[in-house]
């Protein structure tokens, strides 16, 4: 049976981790999952650094995840026009959402405690210091 509802999850996935998997799994329970993957240029502008993995590598990882049906390039923030352009009914995001989306098109999920790409990056920095 084909999934009817088109769900979008916007992500950068600069360092992929189990919090991302949990978010994608929850989204897949709602319908067909389209990941709006932040482009490298947008990460530099929004986060101030070059991602450890380039867009094509991050896309390849996401396309290998069984909860992901499609991956499209995106800006840092998603708006209603972007959802409409991709025929999306709902945006699924962690509770830290900053996207200007109407509440009826937004599903907020709790973040996975104790994990983030920034946290992993910090652990790596600390462990590599002499």
54: domain CATH number is 3.40.50.620
Residue 1 lies in a domain: no
The residue among 105 and 129 whose pLDDT is bigger is 105
Q: Provide the domain count of the chain.
A: 1
For residues 50 and 77, give the distance between their C-alpha atoms in angstroms, rounded to a whole number. 18
Say if 22 falls within a structural domain. yes
Residue 79 reports pLDDT greater than 80: yes
Report the C-alpha gap between 50 and 101 in whole angstroms: 27
Residue 33 is part of which domain span? 6-128
pLDDT at 68: 98
User: pTM for this structure?
Assistant: 0.86
80-128 pLDDT tens trace: 999 999 999 999 998 888 999 999 999 998 876 766 666 666 756 677 7
Q: How far apart are CA 96 and CA 5, in angstroms?
A: 23
């Amino acid at each position: 049976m084909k999934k009817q509802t088109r769900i979008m999850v916007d992500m950068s996935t600069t360092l992929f981790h189990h919090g991302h998997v949990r978010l994608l799994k929850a989204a897949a329970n709602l319908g067909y999952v389209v990941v709006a993957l932040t482009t490298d240029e947008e990460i530099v502008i929004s986060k101030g650094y070059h991602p450890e993995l380039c867009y094509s590598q991050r896309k390849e990882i996401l396309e290998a995840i069984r909860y992901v049906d499609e991956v499209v390039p995106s800006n840092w923030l998603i708006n209603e026009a972007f959802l409409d352009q991709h025929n999306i009914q709902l945006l699924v995001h962690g509770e830290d959402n900053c996207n200007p989306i109407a509440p009826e098109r937004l599903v907020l999920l709790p973040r996975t405690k104790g994990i983030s790409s920034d946290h992993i990056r910090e652990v790596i920095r600390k462990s590599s210091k002499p």
